[in-house]
Amino acid sequence: MKNKSIWIKILGSTLILIAGILIAFFLNFSIINNAIIGNEEAYDTTSIKTSKFFDLFYTISSDTGYHPEPSYFNFIFTALIGIFVGGLIAYKLMWRQK
C-alpha cells in the first residue's frame, strides 16, 4: 500500500509541475507580453530605443517584420519560473508531512 502512495505522489507532483509550466507560459504570453510590448507596430515604424533588459527577453529582427518576439532566454526563464512555483506547490501539497 505504501508503494501505491509513493506513485500517487510522484504522478501528482509531475502533473502539478506541468501545470505550473503551462500557467507560467500562459501568463507570460497573454498578460506580461501585452503589458510590456504594447503596440507591436510601433517598433517597426519608429526608432524606439530598447534597454539591455528588454533585449535580454525580446528580439527584434527582420525575420519577424521588426516586431518584438520572445527570445530563447525568455522561454527558458519562464519555464524555470513555472518549474520553481510548481515544485513549491507540489512539495506543499504532496510531500510535506502533516
**Cα atoms in the Cβ-side hemisphere of radius 13 Å centred on 8:** 7
What global pTM score does this model have? 0.79
Encode pLDDT of 74-97 as tens digits: 999 999 999 999 999 999 988 776
- Across the chain, how many H-helices and E-strands are there? 5, 2
At 84, list the grid cell. Answer: 520553481
Encode pLDDT of 42-76 as tens digits: 666 667 777 788 888 888 877 777 778 888 999 99
What pLDDT was estimated at residue 61? 78
